[in-house]
Amino acid sequence: MQFDDAQVARLDALELAADDSRSELIRRAIDLYVEAVGEAVADARYAAAYQRAPEDLEEFAPLRTLAVRAWPEA
């Protein structure tokens, strides 16, 4: 993998500020990116599943009734 001069300069500036090696900064950046992409994929799957079968709030009506009985002042 090749970095351009501007990328290397930015990494070097971070390297000094963070007291970490260039390699460690790159490893952390990759970990953060992979985690963010994984979360985005999970969010997209959740949204697709929700579109296929949206929540039916009426199915929770009995639970609301029980809650009101248990905590009437709430």
Taking only the tens place, the pLDDT of each residue in 7-66 is: 999 998 988 888 889 999 999 999 999 999 999 999 999 999 988 988 888 888 888 888
- Domain ranges in the chain are 5-70
Is there a contact between 48 and 59 (Cβ–Cβ < 8 Å)? Answer: no
Instruction: Please state the pTM of the whole predicted model.
Output: 0.59
CA-to-CA distance for 19 and 14, rounded, in angstroms? 8
Is there a contact between 25 and 18 (Cβ–Cβ < 8 Å)? Answer: yes
Residue with tokens 């390699």: 23
**Quick one: pLDDT at residue 55?**
80
